Homo-oligomer: A and B are copies of this chain.
């Protein structure tokens, strides 16, 4: 089983062949297989093979493309790694959010990593549905391209493994809408049991509770469980009202 077979790593105009080899190794460590190289400066290369150390099969199967379009033409989702946090209002997420979304989906997805020194051009980023930013020290924020691939591949591996456990039970991540209704139900229940009341109202308490449940990244079935509990609580208190 390869649950990440729908994910393609695309390296755009990579200068150092060593980075291509290190990327192949990082991918194989985390169960990724599909590598596309857009106009690499040197490929194939002994240095790439050396750095791949055992992931030569990924290199051998890598597709060398003339341009970005050729590398992503069959992809439904395109995500671009960007060192700079953009001010432009563009859907942007971190590796964990990215991994949760990508692993929840089976649509062919390309994740683009740009040139060693200049990353992806604005025109290339505009081809992306989402931007991916890896959190790091803002004072030294340029990650090596293979290191960036390693972090993203690691998060993809974790998200996929967690999901594969979940899927056995037919679980899927809750949607934003389901989370909102859950929070509404939770707040009403807190008023019902008078944990919240005219002197102590919702906002700050709800903000703290949302922090907790957002971190937990709830699945649909977990929402059903929690709302079942809220309903039981509401039912038990109703007779008193």
The verdict on A29 contacting B240 (CB below 8 Å), with A151-B154, A205-B225, A232-B193 known, is no
- Cβ of A140 and Cβ of B216 under 8 Å apart? no
- Cβ of A194 and Cβ of B137 under 8 Å apart? no
Main secondary structure of the interface of A (DSSP, over half): helix
Distance between Cα atoms of A149 and B32 in the complex (Å): 20
Distance between Cα atoms of A132 and B136 in the complex (Å): 22
- Cβ of A212 and Cβ of B222 under 8 Å apart? yes
Is there a chain B Cβ closer than 8 Å to A30's Cβ?
Answer: yes
Is there a chain B Cβ closer than 8 Å to A157's Cβ?
Answer: yes
Distance between Cα atoms of A102 and B41 in the complex (Å): 41
**In chain A between 156 and 208, which residues have their CB closer than 8 angstroms to a CB of chain B?**
157-158, 161, 190, 192-195, 205, 208
User: Residue-by-residue, is A140-159 near B (CB-CB < 8 Å gives 1, otherwise 0)?
Assistant: 11111011001100100110
- Cβ of A208 and Cβ of B222 under 8 Å apart? yes
Q: In the complex, what residue of chain B is closest to A192 when comparing beta carbons?
A: B236
Interface residues on A, range: 35 or more
- Cβ of B30 and Cβ of A142 under 8 Å apart? no
- Cβ of B240 and Cβ of A236 under 8 Å apart? yes
- Cβ of A140 and Cβ of B29 under 8 Å apart? yes
User: Which of A20-28, A59-67, A68-76, A123-131 lies on the face that meets chain B?
Assistant: A20-28
CB-defined A-B contacts under 8 Å, sample of 23: A25-B144, A25-B147, A26-B147, A28-B137, A29-B140, A29-B142, A29-B143, A53-B144, A55-B140, A135-B161, A136-B154, A190-B232, A193-B235, A195-B232, A195-B233, A209-B225, A212-B213, A212-B216, A213-B216, A215-B215, A215-B216, A215-B217, A236-B237
